[in-house]
């Protein structure tokens, strides 16, 4: 198994590393203890903006002008929602309940009227309908799945304990590639050519590049 070398890293702006999202050249980072979302310069990690968002919990995504943050009270403490937030001013547009077993949700990736979610303790990766939570696809994956990122024919997830980045086929769930990462990965995003992840134990944000990006 190939171990991916870190191209770039910088210290996280806080200690409870949760989600990551990439938007128009900006890197967004969320902290579940502070209940904050930070806009960062992806070259140096400089803080450009900070939004206070109630009940930030686990993962973050970006889609069409909005950040989509999983929210809820504590780790596996109760139902979760996805909160839709304007990147311009941090205004909350709506909170969308994530349905049954939502307390297990760690990762999220919004794609219009659908979203991918990872159920950490259930070791499942699901494609769902937005608002209804109807399950379209349901794949068994490695335990302790955390962040996910998807675009077109590419789908990656990271696994916390085994320090893995795993690529699967989003149609069939068949594994394509797996890579070893440094540290314990949580949030996950991509900037086109590169993958970014939060190293929770190392308290840093890292950029890597798999050999093959579909």
* Residue 214 is assigned to a structural domain of this protein: no
Calculated CA dihedral for residues 124, 12, 26, 192, nearest 10 degrees: -50
Stretch 191-201: mean pLDDT? 94
* Residue 139 is assigned to a structural domain of this protein: yes
Q: What is the 3-state secondary structure (H, E, C) of 2-54?
A: EECCCCEEEECCCCCEEEEEEECCEEEEEECCCCEEEEECCCCCCEEEEEECC
Helices (H) and strands (E) in the chain, counts: 0, 21
Name the domain count of the chain. Answer: 1
Distance CA 175, CA 6 (A): 23
β-bridge mates for residue 39, sequence order? 28, 49
pLDDT at 91: 96
Stretch 168-191: mean pLDDT? 95
* Residue 81 is assigned to a structural domain of this protein: yes
* Residue 135 is assigned to a structural domain of this protein: yes
pLDDT at 46: 96
Both tokens assigned to 10: 């910088």
pLDDT tens digits, one per residue of 22-52: 999 999 999 999 999 999 999 999 999 999 9
99-122 in b/e burial notation, b at 16+ Cβ within 10 A?
bebbbbbbbbbbeeeebbbbbbeb
* Residue 155 is assigned to a structural domain of this protein: yes
pLDDT at 118: 93
pLDDT at 73: 78
Domain residues for the domain of 10 are 2-208
Split at pLDDT 50, 70, 90, the class of 120 is confident
Stretch 110-123: mean pLDDT? 92
pLDDT at 76: 66
CATH number of domain containing 94: 2.120.10.30
* Residue 213 is assigned to a structural domain of this protein: no
Among the listed ranges 16-20, 64-68, 77-81, 137-141, which one has the minimum average pLDDT value? 77-81
Split at pLDDT 50, 70, 90, the class of 168 is very high
Distance CA 83, CA 36 (A): 13
């Amino acid at each position: 198994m190939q171990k991916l070398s870190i191209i770039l890293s910088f210290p996280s702006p806080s200690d409870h590393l949760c989600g990551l999202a990439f938007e128009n050249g900006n890197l967004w980072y969320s902290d579940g203890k502070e209940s904050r979302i930070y806009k960062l310069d992806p070259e140096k990690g400089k803080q450009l903006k900070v939004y206070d968002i109630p009940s930030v919990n686990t993962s973050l995504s970006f889609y069409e002008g909005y950040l989509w943050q999983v929210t809820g009270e504590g780790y596996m403490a109760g139902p979760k929602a996805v909160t839709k937030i304007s990147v311009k001013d941090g205004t909350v547009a709506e909170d969308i309940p994530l349905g049954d077993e939502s307390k297990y949700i760690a990762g999220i990736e919004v794609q219009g009227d659908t979203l991918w979610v990872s159920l950490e303790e259930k070791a499942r990766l699901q494609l769902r309908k937005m608002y209804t939570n109807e399950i379209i696809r349901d794949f068994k994956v490695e335990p302790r799945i955390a962040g996910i990122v998807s675009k077109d024919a590419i789908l990656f997830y990271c696994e916390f304990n085994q320090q893995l980045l795993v690529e699967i086929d989003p149609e069939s769930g068949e594994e394509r590639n797996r890579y070893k990462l440094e540290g314990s990965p949580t949030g996950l995003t991509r900037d086109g050519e590169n993958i970014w992840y939060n190293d929770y134990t190392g308290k840093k944000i890292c950029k890597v590049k798999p050999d093959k990006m579909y």
